[in-house]
Structure 1
Amino acid sequence: MNIEQAIERLHSQLPLRDRQQALPTELAEVHRAILRSFIEQGRPLKSQEIAAMVTGGDASEALKRLGDDDLVVLDRTGKEAVGAYPMTLSDTPHRVMVAGHSFHAMCALDALSIAPMYDKEVRIESRYHVTGEPVTIVQQGMNIVEAHPSRDVRVGVHWQNPCGAAAHSMCLEMVFLRDADAAAKWQGGDADSITIFTLEEAVAFGAGFFKPLV
């Protein structure tokens, strides 16, 4: 599977681009602003900030639409955003540091997508799936600057349709793997359901999927 095929396969399962394009112009800008807010403030926009952007000054309907479309993840009250793919305030294995802020990515692919979305330097602190060993990756835009303990990291994607919010289902099966051997073992010969990417391939995949949202 090449990168373009991977992007289209993920679009078919999680059509964020199409959902954003289907929004009224005002709501599409709110969605983009929520994404930018992670980079600029280390958090999503708060409801009062969203209210200032929408006609009528009521953020509840805007957040409901974005939440129903799974463009953002809401807190338990449904009144505040806690995440917007690829970024979240929820605790995940993938900690991200950018522009002096720290938050989390929803999955390994998401973590690698943030730097190219905004052409920023990003530090990722995560851990390998299965073994739990730590891995650190530094990116500048599309480029991998360094990776520890090895650049032989792989990203595994177990393809599946989301059950409810993708953040709580399919994102759990997009993971960092220690090396090619570990990735092959995790794949278990099931190339139809599980695809393995090098770091560089995963960056291109994530950028192709997420940059249109910006």
Structure 2
Amino acid sequence: MDELSTLLNSVQPMLDWRDLPVDMASLAALAAGLGWASGLRLYALVFVLGAAGRFGGVQLPGELDVLSHPLVMGLSGLMLLAEFFADKLPWLDSVWDAVHTFIRIPAGAALAAAVMGDQSGNAQILAALLGGSLAAGTHFAKAGARAAINTSPEPVSNVVTSFGEDALFAGGVWTLFNYPLAFLVALVVFMVLAIWLIVSLWRFVRRLLRPRSGQVAA
């Protein structure tokens, strides 16, 4: 029992920013987390990482240190404010999501690949595929859910959902940095639910379109 207690007390989070360079498992967890967060709140993620590197004394791994550049921080901060308000307005949030289909997914892949900037080319490609896939799953689940919520005439549900996404992003990033193993478990659960939501919304849309297709054929 004493040996077990000593072992448990010696376990440190995989993402121990104080003792970089971190190992491959830590980098993979970070790449997955950045992909997920990119699909939810891309500009907030870029700004937080940049601020951590510039003001928080954090040595960002790989090629992420570019996020600490004042120009990158300034642009991401402006876009963060724009997204914060656009995401609270019914239907404007869906337009914003539609446009960012072409931004969040490649950005998630790029950020994940940047984590592996000091690793081999194969590691960077695998990280890009992982980050892009997670960003896509998160983005489409978010965009689909918001489009369904926007069918309600009242704006309250949209605003509440948006604040819920803000809280989810903040909690997820905090967990990623402090308890990466717990984050990975939660990420698996989240992605299972996201896939279920995307499939359910797709089936619902198909059911709506079937009667119209029948009328046109007639």
Q: TM-score, normalization: structure 1?
A: 0.31
Structure 1 or 2: larger helix share?
A: 2
Looking at both structures, which has the greater relative contact order when contacts are Cα pairs under 8 Å and sequence separation is at least 6? 2
Of structures 1 and 2, the larger Rg is shown by 2
Structure 1 or 2: larger strand share?
A: 1
Q: TM-score, normalization: structure 2?
A: 0.31
